[in-house]
Amino acid sequence: MKGHFYKPHCKCVDAKGESKKTKKCNCGASWSFILDVGTDPATGKRKQKKKGGFKSKTEAQEAAALLYAELTQGTYVEEKDITFEEFVKTWEGIYQGNGKTKISTHRVRKHEVGRLMPYFKKLKMKSITRDQYQQALNNLKDNGKKEGVGYADNTLDGIHSTGRAIFKKAVELGIIRNDPTQYAYVPKTQKTIDELEKQEEEVKYLEKEELALFLKTAQEHGLDGDYEAFLTLAYTGMRIGEFTSLRKSDINFQEHTISITKTYYNPSNNMVKYKLLPPKTKTSARTIDVDPIVTDALNNYLTELEAFKAQHSDRYYDKGYIMPNKRKHPGYPRTIKQYELRMERLLVLAGLNTELTPHSLRHTHVSLLAETGTELHEIMDRLGHKDDDTTQQIYLHVTKYKKKEASRKFAELMRGLQKQTDVTQLLPSEGSEEEKP
């Protein structure tokens, strides 16, 4: 191990002003070491690592020995003087350029990075500690928003996920040695029984009688395509973005199936600036069976659409969408906002809950499938879910009544058996005194 140990800030001097190197130091100066760490590939000169602030020579020697061990084992990392703000730019370039990240996901990540910036922006990556990172999460939970109310658990989970991704990449690139997020935890809100019960009630969907009324209202008073659109959403449980991106080629009218292979993305609600993205998850890409009432309704609508396309062929944006706009920008798929407004209009006419959205029809589909006795894993598969708390919550809410019914039937069965047993006990047994001559 090449290097040496010394006291660079020793103030012990003799009468002539020269350092008393041969005598014991009394000024309390700290120890430092200089150690060769390799060769600079650009200049061919040796590279040295200097580190100080040790209370004793022994501490300096131990630190130097640890550094030397890392060098010989190939685990040495020379941390860089780069700030959090600077490294995030590098990370975003890598994250966006990997070819796997959807635009919508990257947009969410940028928001989450923005929430971490006030805590780490100008700090060097290597100086950010576990305590600092944990305190940031705690602060975001307590009063992260401007109005002084902390972020919800799900939002905080996303922020922490982004933070972990950033620091993990910094470790991989040799920017830092240790990941300050490794043992961090997201502080959770402990909910009361009343809050849990209220949360259960917050999932909004239509009961079967309400759905029938809603679809009847859409059929009788809906605008162009309303009935076909909401009928399909209710009977398939697909996401509104999946429906909006459907093309005629995605529907097999003979086999009565719909293939879901993409989703609609348009955060600005500018009709011509939409994008088609891969499905939300791997399990979201699926082919589902549908009732002929759905394929027949869509086929009839598309037949009428052909006449409209022929009349406006000079300006029709023909990409095969099953539910296009017909006024401004004919042929372009309708925005999700349009469906939300149309549904609200129908809910008002039907006298139903106006807080419901197109996504509520997905929840409605889950509740009705659960009511028919369909297993949870089958519902998950149909909806393109691998796991989803809301779907499970609806399923459990609906099926708990079936469980109560099963309990009631079991109790009735046992009462019947008990009565039968009581009667049997009253009958004379074989060989009793009454049977003897």
CATH of residue 164: 1.10.150.130
Q: First and final CA of the chain: distance in angstroms?
A: 114
Question: Are 262 and 125 part of one and the same domain?
Answer: no
- Tokens found for residue 387: 């796991």
Question: Are 93 and 65 part of one and the same domain?
Answer: no
Domain final position from 31, 47, 73: 73
The verdict on residue 136 lying in a domain is yes
Question: Are 214 and 186 part of one and the same domain?
Answer: no
Domain final position from 148, 164, 190: 190
Question: Are 271 and 159 part of one and the same domain?
Answer: no
Question: Are 223 and 343 part of one and the same domain?
Answer: yes
- C-alpha pair distances (Å), 177 with each of 116, 127, 321, 416: 20, 11, 52, 72
The verdict on residue 212 lying in a domain is yes
The verdict on residue 416 lying in a domain is no
Question: Are 247 and 371 part of one and the same domain?
Answer: yes
The verdict on residue 98 lying in a domain is yes
pLDDT at 413: 74
Question: Are 242 and 356 part of one and the same domain?
Answer: yes
Question: Are 386 and 318 part of one and the same domain?
Answer: yes
The count of domains in the chain is 3
Question: Are 292 and 159 part of one and the same domain?
Answer: no
The verdict on residue 404 lying in a domain is no
Burial label for 138, CB within 10 Å (0-12, 13-18, 19+), is middle
pLDDT at 420: 67
The verdict on residue 411 lying in a domain is no
pLDDT confidence bin for 425, thresholds 50/70/90? low
The verdict on residue 431 lying in a domain is no
Question: Are 119 and 246 part of one and the same domain?
Answer: no
The verdict on residue 198 lying in a domain is no
Domain final position from 52, 73, 94: 73
> Each residue of 36-92: pLDDT tens digit?
877 777 788 888 878 888 888 888 888 888 777 766 766 555 667 889 999 998 888
Q: What value does the mean pLDDT take over residues 302-306?
A: 95
Residue 422 has pLDDT above 70, yes or no: no
pTM of the model: 0.62
What CATH number is given to the structural domain containing 310? 1.10.443.10
Cα gap 32→144, rounded to integer Å: 42
- Any bridge partners for residue 254, and if so which? none
Question: Are 93 and 69 part of one and the same domain?
Answer: no
Residue 407 has pLDDT above 70, yes or no: no
Residue 27 has pLDDT above 60, yes or no: yes
- Tokens found for residue 284: 């979201």
Question: Are 377 and 231 part of one and the same domain?
Answer: yes
Q: Are 31 and 54 in contact (CB under 8 A)?
A: yes
Domain that holds residue 314: 208-390
Cα gap 141→160, rounded to integer Å: 11
> Each residue of 361-379: pLDDT tens digit?
999 999 899 888 888 888 8
